[in-house]
Structure 1
Amino acid sequence: MSNELYISTTQKGDRIALVQDKRLIEYHFDETEHQFSVGDIYLGVVKKVVQGNNAAFVDVGYDKDGFLHYNEIISYNSLSKFVKDVIAKRPVNLRLKGFQLEKDIDKLGKINDVVTKNTPILVQVVKEPISTKGPRLSCDISIAGRNIVLVPFGTSVNISKKITNKQERQRLHKLVSSIKPENFGVIVRTVAEGKDLDELRRDIDFCVDKWESGMKTLRDAKPRDRIISEMDRASSILRDMLNDDFDNIYVDSKENYDGVKSFLHTIAPDKEKILKLHTGKNKLFEQYGIEKQIKSLFGRSVSLSGGGYLIIEHTEALHVIDVNSGNKSTQEGDQESTALTVNLEAAKEIARQLRMRDMGGIIVIDFIDMKKNENRRLIQEAMKEEMKGDRSKYTILPISKFGLLQITRQRVRPEMNIVTRETCPTCGGTGTIQASIVITDLIENNLDYILSKQNESGISIILHPFVYAYYREGLISKQMRWFFKYRTWVTLTKDSSIGITEFHFLNKHGDEIEITS
């Protein structure tokens, strides 16, 4: 199994694609100005305490107040005491050395006995704002590293349940206990299996340094300020998933290249050699066929290679996926065998779709009806196997007698949605068009104006692949004729994500040229 990560920079943020064996399995858009990401820590202010919900609403600067349930404030007493000392600039060790921990709150208590209105409170985002809801918050702070998760105001050492070897669990517990900082708990992650003492210590030191830096920020912070920022989406993917199966990491900006290289040097120096800077004239996602996969995989209907297809519908309450046989041949000989074959293929694609779109909440899958119980069990086991690589928490229930399989999948951020139905760029949705061939005249008129009147040089044009081919064909192409005419080379770049009548002129710095006449 081979993994490749692609990071493409745009004006609005970074597009991130995780590809496994040439198949897109995760797609993210990390906005430049995006806040309230999972893991971010804010200094909030309690705006309302709701006894009926046993929860509080906290202002962290979002349009809607964040939701903080009583079950998420277990370590509130120690946290509140420490935060008050830091804000008041009292002499306190920011690394928690010598700090006297307070007793945890009563798990069966009421929030109004602990939290009061207008109180400053340090909270961490555990679920991003979704739809009309504000972020979900927690006072049980944690700092994630590659091999461990550091828990301030904790004392225990816990080992991931996915590490099943008893000797390895004991070894890790002994090692981490020997280097665990005072007044910090530690959760050992699955990737820590087999790691030595020095590597675990480096990870713990990194997390403690991050905590200390945040507490220095807290000293002079104002309400609604972000105290500790979770790393960007690309770095978090590398932190959580980087292993020997990663073959390549491609980025198309020098800034991201330097940032990822520095991060790799910290977490896995031996992996620096797989990082590559894309400098080709075609866009990164276009060059490696990712743009085409995105356009074909995010629609309402998703085709299966065997002839079947999925219909994916979204509602506020749940997601529904319908499996259809389509034009699937009946070489298997009977309907039951055909249904099993299509359902097995669908299970693989559905697991991919859940992860790629980051669909959360309740998912109901209507598989093609099968009469045999053993076939239903095969489908359930296939879903479990395909979802093993999913980083989100999930539960898969057995297929019901109606042929429905239900999945609950942790939802911590809004679902990724790509609009694949486009308004015709030529007719604007009216159904009537002018002659589309005039687009070439328009491009050439603009080109002449830019080169003759605006005296630009080193320009490039982004075009639909069809128009790109038109200018490149022939022994002496139109692109070459431009060179003879204007004595300057015009670079052409194809981009299938734009309409056939759409084009963009860029200057030598990569900025779009405004056509003025």
Structure 2
Amino acid sequence: MNKELIINVTASEITIALFEDKQLVELTKEQSRSGYAVGDIYMGKVKKIMPGLNAAFVNVGHEKDGFIHYLDLGPQFTSLQKMVNILTNNKRSINFEGLKLEKPLGKSGKIASHIASGQTILVQVAKEAISTKGPRLTSDISLAGRNVVLIPFSGKISISQKIRSNEERNRLKKIASGVLPNNYGVIIRTAAAGHPAEDVEQDILALVHKWEKAMENLKQQNAPSLVLGEMNRTTTMIRDLLNGSFSNIYIDDQATYEEVRDYIRTIVPEKEKIVKLYKGNVPIFDNFDVSKQIMSLFAKYVSLRKGAYLIIERTEALHVVDVNSGNRAKVDDDQERTAMDVNLAAAAEIARQLRLRDMGGIIVIDFIDLHKSENRNALVEEMRKLMAADRAKHTILPLSKFGLMQITRQRVRPETQVDMREVCPACHGTGTVTPAALLDEQIENQIAYFAQDRGERYIRVRVNPVVAAFLKKGLFSLRLRWMMRYKCFIRVVANSHTGIIETKFFDRRNKELV
């Protein structure tokens, strides 16, 4: 599979388009660095304890306080808080590797027993602020690298379940245990499979250094403040996705180009040449056909092959996808086969749309009814196979007796949305339209000018069908009265593509009168 990244940089945001075999599959928008990103670590101040929810609200500087549940404190919260108190209150350095860890928290405790209002705690953004909710926080802190995820206050070495080979798992575990300092744990990512030992070791040591430097800086900080920022969305996506299948990364901004190129030179020097600075006169998204795909893919109606289509509706609580056969039902005789063909095509497009729009929460899909159990099972298996490449955690349930498929998909960022609206040609975005009583006066003034001042004896008026009906209404219509008053022939033509207050005038040779 051939992958490409197209990156458009403006003053307010960075838009990243991921292509797989020339097809748009992910679209990510990152605001300027004033926002909050998943993975950012903050010194927060507890604002309010909510005993009924066993949770608390924490001020991290966002306009809405972050939310942290007792279970999000993490098993080593007591040890973390002990370190924070030493650094912030005593203002002295500590030997992290020599720190004695406290007893882990149980899963059934009360949050009020461990934190209080006004207390300073170290938290990490687990979910960005979505809709009316503030950011979701956790104190079970981790630092992500290309090959590993470092977990302070843990001695465990875990390996991605996607690495199947026992030999490779043992090799990676041996590498990590040989370099990992005391009081650190690590999760070895799928990307580490097959990588040389020095790459994994360097990744671990770089993350350890990053963590210890951030903790050292903690002595000079007051809550609420940013302690350690996650990489921007561009380099994060490259870190998580970059592999041998990437052929090109196009960027239209010099500074971002140099930043990405330097990052790739650090992690995969041989891939540096795939980063290219776009200097064309045409906007980068237009040049690479991104804009066209965005406009066709983010609409409420999504077309499938042979006349079938999807309808995607979004609510606060869930997303609903309706699969329609369209014209297919009229041409095929085998109803079951038609339904299966449309459902399989819809499943492929839905899996793509989930990634493209970054839809999260509960997704309910109304597939076309299938009567054979083997077809129903095959559809569910196909959906699971199609979503295997989706990096977001998800669960797919079998079809219900009503033919509905339910999917839950992890949501850590606001859903990607593209504004499909255009400025109204009638009111030009003002929200007001000229009343008919004034409109006919404007049309008459124009006719008077063309007939009396310009000497026109034939005037064709092209207007919206609603306006045309108004001008020709009654035995003595406005059109007839104007013909008698200005001594010229007037023809009113209704055009459905003409705006409600748009009017155009033409002469006998169909030349527009201006």
TM-score scaled to structure 2, two decimals? 0.82
Counterpart in the other structure of 2:401: 401
1:249 is paired with a residue whose SS is strand
1:97 is paired with a residue whose SS is helix
The within-5 A match list for 1:77-88 is: 77-88=78-89
2:385 is paired with a residue whose SS is helix
2:262 is paired with a residue whose SS is helix
Counterpart in the other structure of 2:68: 68
Cα deviation 1:3-42 (Å, max 9, x = unaligned): 0001111121111100111111110111114422110111
Does 2:114 correspond to 1:114?
yes
Cα deviation 1:272-326 (Å, max 9, x = unaligned): 0111100011111010000111111111111113321110001111100000111
Q: 1:421: Cα distance to partner?
A: 3.0
Does 2:178 correspond to 1:157?
no
One-letter amino acid matched to 2:391: R
Q: 1:111: Cα distance to partner?
A: 1.0
Q: 1:69: Cα distance to partner?
A: 0.7
Stretches of structure 2 that go unaligned for 5 or more consecutive residues are 443-514
Contact 2:148/2:189 (CA < 8 Å) preserved in 1?
yes
Counterpart in the other structure of 1:183: 183
Q: 1:110: Cα distance to partner?
A: 1.0
Query: C-alpha distance in 2, partners of 1:26/1:131?
Result: 21
Does 2:5 correspond to 1:5?
yes
Query: C-alpha distance in 2, partners of 1:166/1:426?
Result: 67
The within-5 A match list for 1:227-376 is: 227-328=227-328, 332-376=332-376
The alpha-carbon distance between structure 1 residues 375 and 149, as it changes in their structure 2 partners (threshold 3 A), is same
One-letter amino acid matched to 2:28: H
Cα deviation 1:110-169 (Å, max 9, x = unaligned): 111111111100000001111111111000110000010000111110111111222211
Query: C-alpha distance in 1, partners of 2:113/2:148?
Result: 33
Q: 1:431: Cα distance to partner?
A: 7.8
Contact 1:321/1:366 (CA < 8 Å) preserved in 2?
yes
Larger Rg: 2
Query: C-alpha distance in 2, partners of 1:112/1:237?
Result: 38
Contact 2:127/2:136 (CA < 8 Å) preserved in 1?
yes
Stretches of structure 1 that go unaligned for 5 or more consecutive residues are 435-517
One-letter amino acid matched to 2:35: Q
2:307 is paired with a residue whose SS is coil
The alpha-carbon distance between structure 1 residues 427 and 414, as it changes in their structure 2 partners (threshold 3 A), is same
Query: C-alpha distance in 2, partners of 1:114/1:261?
Result: 45
206-215 or 401-410, larger mean C-alpha shift: 206-215
Contact 2:175/2:201 (CA < 8 Å) preserved in 1?
no
Contact 1:300/1:311 (CA < 8 Å) preserved in 2?
yes
Query: C-alpha distance in 2, partners of 1:367/1:224?
Result: 48
Query: C-alpha distance in 2, partners of 1:419/1:376?
Result: 36
Q: 1:90: Cα distance to partner?
A: 4.2
Cα deviation 1:442-476 (Å, max 9, x = unaligned): xxxxxxxxxxxxxxxxxxxxxxxxxxxxxxxxxxx
Q: 1:333: Cα distance to partner?
A: 3.5
Query: C-alpha distance in 1, partners of 2:85/2:38?
Result: 24
Query: C-alpha distance in 2, partners of 1:44/1:378?
Result: 49
Query: C-alpha distance in 2, partners of 1:348/1:201?
Result: 39
Query: C-alpha distance in 2, partners of 1:372/1:205?
Result: 56
Q: 1:196: Cα distance to partner?
A: 2.0
Aligned-residue RMSD, C-alpha:
1.8
6-15 or 96-105, larger mean C-alpha shift: 96-105
Contact 2:43/2:223 (CA < 8 Å) preserved in 1?
yes
Cα deviation 1:50-94 (Å, max 9, x = unaligned): 111111111111122111111111211111011111113544346
Query: C-alpha distance in 2, partners of 1:389/1:210?
Result: 30
Q: 1:344: Cα distance to partner?
A: 0.5
One-letter amino acid matched to 1:54: N
Contact 1:299/1:421 (CA < 8 Å) preserved in 2?
no
1:387 is paired with a residue whose SS is helix
The alpha-carbon distance between structure 1 residues 154 and 425, as it changes in their structure 2 partners (threshold 3 A), is farther
Query: C-alpha distance in 2, partners of 1:333/1:22?
Result: 35
One-letter amino acid matched to 1:228: L
Counterpart in the other structure of 2:416: 416
1:350 is paired with a residue whose SS is helix
119-128 or 218-227, larger mean C-alpha shift: 218-227
Q: 1:426: Cα distance to partner?
A: 6.5
2:388 is paired with a residue whose SS is coil
Counterpart in the other structure of 1:197: 197
Query: C-alpha distance in 2, partners of 1:40/1:70?
Result: 20
One-letter amino acid matched to 2:203: D
Counterpart in the other structure of 2:506: none
Counterpart in the other structure of 1:474: none
Does 2:13 correspond to 1:17?
no
252-261 or 189-198, larger mean C-alpha shift: 189-198
Counterpart in the other structure of 2:134: 134
Counterpart in the other structure of 1:378: 378
Does 2:117 correspond to 1:146?
no
Q: 1:425: Cα distance to partner?
A: 4.8
Contact 1:5/1:18 (CA < 8 Å) preserved in 2?
yes
2:150 is paired with a residue whose SS is strand
One-letter amino acid matched to 2:405: L
Give the percent of matched residue pairs that are identical in Structure 1 and Structure 2: 51
Query: C-alpha distance in 2, partners of 1:185/1:266?
Result: 24
One-letter amino acid matched to 2:415: E
Contact 1:344/1:379 (CA < 8 Å) preserved in 2?
yes
Q: 1:230: Cα distance to partner?
A: 0.7
Query: C-alpha distance in 2, partners of 1:146/1:329?
Result: 49
One-letter amino acid matched to 1:297: L
1:175 is paired with a residue whose SS is helix
TM-score scaled to structure 1, two decimals? 0.81
Contact 1:299/1:419 (CA < 8 Å) preserved in 2?
no
2:101 is paired with a residue whose SS is coil
1:185 is paired with a residue whose SS is strand
191-200 or 418-427, larger mean C-alpha shift: 418-427
Contact 1:66/1:134 (CA < 8 Å) preserved in 2?
yes
2:258 is paired with a residue whose SS is helix
